[in-house]
Structure 1
Amino acid sequence: MDVQPKVAATAFLIADAARAAMLMALADGRALPAGELAYAAGVTAQTASSHLAKLLDGGLLSVEKEGRHRYYRLADAQVAALLENLATIAARTPVRRKPHGREARTLRVARCCYDHLAGQVGVAITQQLMERGFLAAGSDKRFEVTPTGTQFFGDLGIDVATLRPGKHGIARQCLDWTERQHHLAGPLGAKFMSTLCDNGWLMRSPSSRAVQVTPRGWAQLYETLGVRMSVVDEA
């Protein structure tokens, strides 16, 4: 099967600045109405409607109806991974940038990458999981969970054996677009972040992709993985 036309069509959809902004606004896994996506892209409601229709037709978005309202989300985690990888590639090109604002610095520290933890904290945690022998780099962008890793996640309340594997198994290496290093993704990454939130270690922002590490979270991250607050670089 010739996939070149599909690749070209997908690239065309993402290449538009307004559509790219809408897609990135959905990269934390939330579903948003057209009005919020129009605001994120800096376009009118009519223009946003046209862009959203194209993204739906192209298979990059899905839509859910709730009463009179329509909520849009990324079609799946593969679309989120594509956006993260494209952001990594684009960031290699030197450009003139304004000084990072407070929101940009916050997102670099810790943020949602679709359904898992990214940013400086996500990378630091993943590095410690590998250094302590809980995860091992595998082929095809996989992380292999070791027997000691199974025990570690089990102590947190995560039964690794019950996780449903995705395309890259239960644990995937996701290249962090700000840190240029891998963080933990896949079903295990999603369950890990939700568990840390449930345990009060992390707190998600209700209005953005930002994630905050709580005081309890910093204490527990240091106790269990040796991750200190000093991993955060506000520069």
Structure 2
Amino acid sequence: MKKLREKIRNMSIRKKIVFYMYVVLIPLLLIICIAATVYRYRESREEYARLQRQNIYSLQSSLDIIEEDVRNLSLNLAINDDIRSILTADDPEAVSRDVRLWQNIAPMRMVEDIIALKGYIKTLSVYPENGVTPYLRCMDASSYISTLEEISATGTYRQAKALLGKGLWVYAPHGSGEIYQGSRSDKLVLVRAIYNTAKSQMLGYATIGISLETIENLCRNALQSEKEAVLLYEKNGGGLLVCGNIEEELHQYI
């Protein structure tokens, strides 16, 4: 330190000015650089968070539109007078003799037009509790379980029945299961028990299956990095979809 002070004293005024400028400016520049880096980091994090919120709101809006469309279609099946006339028929054998009873009595032609227009709706079924031939429609070469007896033995049916007319979303993997005898692809299915007005008697059981791929594509478009994931849950049931990367422990905890 003595040698340094001696050298400084022996410097010319010009060199002293330059030296002290470096002494002051270098730490100041370091502080400015650090502050600018912290500011840019915070700014980028805020922008990232803003984009995340924007993507989440956009995804939620898209999912809400699809869910509302499917729930409204399901509700229309449940309250339609022509469909209820089939579900409450006193002579189900006589009604079932008409092989096109669902097209001739109920508005299923219009329903099928809606399904074709939506695109993502792949299957629709109505199982009357009175024994009338069920309406089973698959747009993707899937096949429903054909009888009410088999359907009524499933856990999904019992869950829907317990909800007294409220809809329930369930995940249906491709292949056979509690809804399909053979499904060509993974689906999300809205199931609903149809009750009379007093909710004292179950009249039928309806299902609407939508393409899981459609929902997965919407979720993937909302992800910004490989570290993000979207988890979709049914409020009255269990998990429906996991899109993206998530740690197994965190997934189980959620």
**Would you say same fold, with TM above 0.5?**
no
Using the size of structure 1 for normalisation, the TM-score is: 0.23
